């Protein structure tokens, strides 16, 4: 009998052995036929990086029973490209990324490998979703998010998504999530604080750290939703054109 279940590509940026992707695989297995292509090492904060100056490795691995899994030496975006072209040889019906150990709300969407993988899926024309939890530890427990993850996946499979749009879903780290809210990306930035140290040879080096600076109190933002106990869903686009600025710039004289 032909397998008519939807094909679900599962990716992440924390690496194929992370707990978060295991939970996502569990949900995806209840819905469809799962194929996993994930980085062989942690690739957090890789943004939309791709690997063009060195070759890529792609190796089949067996971690969880009956799940088709591949690890890749490249970035999260590389994983999606390889999955579509070298593993599936077709577009999957859904591409889901995560669940990330840590939030990708607000400005973090730009730095996030999780979200870039989902964005690459959307660029390929695949309905795509990135999931993240407000728990940065390796031991994070994603159990309470799973009913929401499943619901969102089923709705996206059933309704599709508008052309050029993917979803950025973030969950608060509380057991009783109140529900889900459609939000916009809150305005914020990171205030960097480089931690300057000396190596054993007395040469300076720096660790990048920072403090999240919120510049937006809007109750329609993802930051507000998460603070108030809701999961946030931001529809994200990869047309970066600031259409509202075009008229103004057309008045400039070159």
Give the H or E element holding residue 26.
helix 19-31
Q: Which of 67, 166, 174 is nearest to 115 (CA)?
A: 166
Nearest-approach distance from CB 45 to a copy of itself, in angstroms:
5
3-state class of 132 per DSSP? strand
Ramachandran class of 135: left when φ > 0, alpha when ψ lies in -120 to 50, beta otherwise: beta
Give the H or E element holding residue 59.
strand 58-61
The residue among 65 and 90 lying less far from a copy of itself, judged by its C-beta, is 90
The residue among 106 and 133 lying less far from a copy of itself, judged by its C-beta, is 106
In whole angstroms, what is the distance from residue 238 CA to residue 236 CA?
7
The residue among 142 and 148 lying less far from a copy of itself, judged by its C-beta, is 148
The residue among 1 and 162 lying less far from a copy of itself, judged by its C-beta, is 162
Give me the residue label for tokens 């089949």: 60
The residue among 1 and 55 lying less far from a copy of itself, judged by its C-beta, is 55
Token reading at 163: 């052309």
């Amino acid at each position: 009998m032909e397998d008519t279940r939807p094909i679900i590509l599962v990716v992440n940026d924390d690496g194929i052995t992370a707990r978060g992707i295991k939970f996502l695989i569990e949900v995806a297995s209840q819905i469809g036929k799962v194929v996993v292509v994930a980085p062989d090492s942690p690739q957090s904060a890789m943004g939309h990086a791709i690997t063009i100056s060195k070759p890529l490795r792609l190796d089949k691995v067996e971690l969880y029973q009956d799940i088709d899994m591949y690890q890749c030496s490249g970035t999260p975006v590389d994983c999606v490209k390889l999955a579509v072209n070298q593993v599936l040889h077709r577009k999957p019906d859904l591409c889901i990324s995560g669940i990330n150990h840590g939030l990708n709300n607000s400005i973090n969407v730009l730095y996030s490998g999780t979200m870039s993988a989902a964005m690459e899926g959307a660029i390929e024309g695949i309905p795509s979703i990135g999931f993240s939890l407000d728990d940065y530890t390796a031991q994070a427990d994603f159990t309470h998010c799973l009913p929401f993850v499943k619901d969102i996946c089923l709705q996206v499979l059933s309704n599709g998504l508008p052309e050029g749009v993917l979803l950025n879903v973030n969950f608060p780290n509380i057991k009783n999530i109140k529900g889900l809210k459609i939000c916009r990306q809150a305005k914020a930035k990171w205030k960097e604080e480089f931690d300057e140290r000396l190596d054993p040879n007395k040469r300076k080096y720096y660790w990048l750290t920072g403090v999240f600076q919120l510049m937006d109190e809007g109750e329609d933002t993802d930051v507000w939703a998460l603070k108030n106990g809701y999961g946030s869903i931001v529809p994200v686009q990869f047309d970066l054109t600031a259409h509202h600025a075009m008229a103004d710039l057309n008045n400039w004289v070159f």
